[in-house]
Amino acid sequence: MLEINATETVREGSVFGQITTMDHEQLVICHDQPTGLKALIGIHNTVLGPALGGTRMWPYATEEEAITDVLRLSRGMTFKNALAGLNLGGGKAVIIGDPKQKNEAFLRRFGRFVESLGGRYVTAEDVNMKTSDMEYIAMETRHVTGLPQIKGGAGDPSPVTAFGVYMGMKAAAKKAFGSDSLQGKKIGVQGVGQVGKYLIDYLVKEGAEILITDIFEDKLKEVAKSSGATVVDPNVIYDLPMDIYAPCALGATINDQTIDRLKCAVIAGGANNQLKDEAKHGKILMDKGVIYAPDFLINAGGVINVGAEYYGDYHEETVFAQAQKIYDTCLTILDKSQKENIPAQQAAIEAAKARIEAIGRLKLPF
C-alpha cells in the first residue's frame, strides 16, 4: 500500500499537484498481485469526522482517469456530508477493473486495506458494488457500512437516495415554475439503476411525463414496462425538450459537448459530479437561466442512511425525515445563488465550507 500525503512538495499536473489543488489529506494506492486488486482510496477531509464514502468498481481506461475520479468523488463527499449535517468527513474508493473480477478473496483483501487506515476511511457500496460485497469486506474491517438487513445493517440505501433526489427536484421545480408539483412535467431520467428506478416511482405517483434512457437495454425494457415511461436513445436525450433533466448514471454528462444541446429549465438528478467543469459549466447554466440542484446536495439520502447505520443509530423513519430536509436546504442554496448572483454549485460549496470551518475553527483553502 502506497500513501500519498498532501504535505509533500508538489509539481503542477502531477498526482501531488492534483491532491494539493483539491486539498486532499491523503491518497492511498492499493495493490494485491495474487487477487489482481488495484484500488485507490481518496481521503479529502476529516475535520467533521471519519471520511465516509462508497467504493465503486469500474474498468477505467487509464490510471489517470481513476485518480481523477476518486479525487473528485471524495471531495464531493466532504461537501455532501457537511451539507447533510452529518458528523462525517469526505472519502471515496475506486477499484479498477471488471466487476466480474470480484470474489471473496478479492473483496476481503480490499477490506484489509480499509482496515489498515485505522478508521480514517469508512466504506460503503457504490457503482457496481452490492450489499453482499460489503459482507465480505466486513469480514476484514469494522469500518464499513451499508450491510444487508439480515446482517444487522440498514440494507440498500438507494431508496433513501432517490427520496432525497425527489425532494431536491421538487425544490428546484418550485424555484423554476413557482410550484413544486411535478404533475404533467416532462422529466428525462438518464440511468435506470437502483436510484433511477426508485426516483421514477415517485414521478409516476405525481403524474409526470417520463422519458428514460440507459446503456443497458434490459433495464430499460423492465422499467418502461412497470412505469409506462417512454424509452429514448441515450445519444438524443440531450436534444429533447423537457422540463427537468435528471442525470442518474455516471458523472460529467453536463460538458462542452452537451450543455448547449440541453432544452430544460431544471437539472436535478442522482449522479455524482454531473458538471464536467463545475466552475465553467455551473456559470453557463446560470447564464442560460437553468436551475441546477447541486448533485452532492440532493443525492445525500444514501449517505444519511449509511451514516446512521455506521453510528449504530438507525431508524428508518428518522433517516427519511432527515432526507426530507434536503427540500429546504436546496431552496436555501438556490435562494443564495440568486441573491448573490453565483452558480448554485458555488453557493452549495460555500455553505459546506462554512460549516466545516465553524466546526474545525480553521480556514480551509479547498
pLDDT in tens, 264-295: 999 999 999 999 999 999 999 999 999 999 99
Based on the domain organization, do 146 and 180 belong to the same domain? no
Residue of 241, 245, 305 lying closest to 274 (CA atoms) = 245
List of residues 6+ apart from 79 with CB closer than 8 A: 90, 296, 297, 348, 349, 352, 353
* Binding site residue list: 191-196
Based on the domain organization, do 48 and 81 belong to the same domain? yes
Structural domain boundaries, residue 122: 15-153
Based on the domain organization, do 138 and 164 belong to the same domain? no
pLDDT at 4 over 60: no
Based on the domain organization, do 283 and 213 belong to the same domain? yes
Taking the C-alpha atoms of residue 250 and residue 127, their distance in angstroms, rounded to an integer, is 9
Based on the domain organization, do 191 and 268 belong to the same domain? yes
Other Cβ atoms within 10 Å of 241 Cβ, number: 9
Q: Which of 80, 92, 170, 185 is catalytic?
A: 92
Arithmetic mean of pLDDT, 212-217 = 93
For the chain, percent of residues with pLDDT exceeding 90: 84
Model pLDDT, residue 1: 65
How open is the CA angle 357-302-243, to the nearest 5 degrees?
95
Residue of 264, 259, 212 lying closest to 233 (CA atoms) = 212
- The beta-carbon contacts of 248-254 under 8 Å, at least 24 apart in sequence, are 248/165, 248/189, 248/190, 248/191, 248/192, 248/193, 248/195, 248/196, 248/199, 249/190, 249/191, 249/193, 249/196, 249/214, 249/215, 250/127, 250/191, 251/72, 251/295, 252/276, 253/190, 254/281, 254/285
92 is catalytic: yes
The pairing of beta strand 2-5 with beta strand 244-247: unpaired
* Binding site residue list for NAD(+): 191-196
Taking the C-alpha atoms of residue 91 and residue 305, their distance in angstroms, rounded to an integer, is 16
- Strand-pair partners of 43: 26, 91
Classify residue 219 as left (phi > 0), alpha (psi -120 to 50) or beta. alpha
Model pLDDT, residue 362: 53
Q: What is the pLDDT of residues 294-323, one digit of tens each?
A: 999 999 999 999 999 999 989 999 999 999
Domain end point (choices 137, 153, 169): 153
pLDDT at 104 over 80: yes
Residue of 196, 172, 192, 150 lying closest to 332 (CA atoms) = 172
Other Cβ atoms within 10 Å of 339 Cβ, number: 9
Q: Mean pLDDT over all residues of the chain?
A: 93
Q: What is the pLDDT of residues 114-154, one digit of tens each?
A: 999 999 999 999 889 988 999 999 999 999 999 998 888 88
CATH number of domain containing 149: 3.40.50.10860
Based on the domain organization, do 217 and 294 belong to the same domain? yes
Domain end point (choices 118, 153, 188): 153
The reported pTM is: 0.89
Arithmetic mean of pLDDT, 175-201 = 97
Lowest mean pLDDT among 10-14, 58-62, 132-136, 312-316: 10-14
User: Does residue 333 sit within a domain?
Assistant: no
CATH number of domain containing 265: 3.40.50.720
User: Does residue 134 sit within a domain?
Assistant: yes
Taking the C-alpha atoms of residue 336 and residue 64, their distance in angstroms, rounded to an integer, is 35
Based on the domain organization, do 179 and 281 belong to the same domain? yes
Model pLDDT, residue 9: 45
User: Does residue 315 sit within a domain?
Assistant: no
> Total structural domains in the chain?
2
